[in-house]
Amino acid sequence: MASPILEAPGSNDTSTATRKQTKRPKYSKFTQQELPACKPILTPRAVISSFLIVTIIFIPIGVASLQASRNIVEIVDRYDSQCIPANVTDKVAYIQSTADKTCNRELHVEKHMKSPIYVYYQLDNFYQNHRRYVKSRNDEQLRAAGKANSTSGCDPEHKVNDMPIVPCGLIAWSMFNDTYSFSRDKSNLTVNKKGISWKSDREHKFGKDVFPKNFQNGSIIGGAHLDENIPLSEQEDLIVWMRTAALPTFRKLYGKIEVDMEKGDVIHVTLKNHYNTYSFNGEKKLVLSTAGWLGGKNDFLGVAYLTVGGLSFFLAMAFTVLYFVNPRGKVTYGYPPVAFTCGLLHQDWNIL
């Protein structure tokens, strides 16, 4: 059988016919690996200099971050075990009863706290990141009043007496419902609860014309109640709670105290211990904290920068010692401390 006759590459018809009879791809610089490329050639001086640069940059940032975190004043008080009467043996039955659960606590200020002072509640061993829990909500219902009947995904908290629940789902149903009030020297401290949620959540995720309906009207009450005369976009405790946490230990903002506290002040806290963390061995903590340019108290960022900077300094010194103990030969190739070889990478396609 005679082989096909291939014409000059200038003919489109013949070149198309040729490609059909071979596995040769259409020509381009990418497919033929003819793109320009640069490859750094690292010399000992370049490696040592790179590690020293990382050291010089990272260590000051780590020191500044750690110092900023250490300047944050934080008061943490665990109260879940302290706010149960001593004669109570069944904590779950007590927390689910109608008994008065008022509890008084004292917080001692050991360092000046500049306003605003952020009030958080912290929950431990609470898995808000559980797949079924995270999906138990309906965003359409939260945004628009006309979507009140949209309860898909909210099982089992989607309807009560064949009427839709607004907001539906387990996240809203389990909303935190402990309350706190503060006083100092027999003078009440006002807790500002405005602006504690994300602005994007208030404006885009929760409708101004959506009001709670049939919420917590079932046989089992999960958490806080909602005022049916206030739209969801203004119920910031709900908005904060529904931004689910990724870890089983988390803090959520309760409010802000906008007065300074001095060293030696005693803060009297009157709280209502309603939220049931006893059935899953959870913990509840009240946290008062100031904030800095990096946010709240967190040593991780500073320690991470110092660790990387210290490791880079150690490697730089190790390579320096190795370079002087066992230097390269005296033959030089004319490369600067950081050199690049640039050219074309080319590989022909010979597959027919």
pLDDT for 147 equals: 87
pLDDT at 26: 79
Residues of the chain scoring pLDDT < 70: 1-21, 328-352
Q: What's the rounded Cα separation, in Å, for the pair 121 and 176?
A: 9
Q: How far is CA 181 from CA 72, 90, 151, 185, in A?
A: 23, 27, 35, 14
d(CA 106, CA 182): 10
Q: Which of 101, 57, 55, 108 is nearest to 82 (CA)?
A: 101
Q: What are phi and psi of 287, to 5 degrees?
A: -125, 130
Structure token digits, residue 304: 């991470």
Burial class, 168, CB count within 10 angstroms (exposed 0-12 / middle 13-18 / buried 19+): buried
Q: Could you tell me the two tokens for 78?
A: 């665990």
Domains of the chain: which residue ranges?
Answer: 39-72+294-327, 73-291
- Cut 0.75: pTM above it: yes
94 vs 68, 89, 348, CA distance in Å?
A: 43, 9, 80
pLDDT digits (tens, 9 = 90+) for 138-159: 999 999 988 888 889 898 888 8
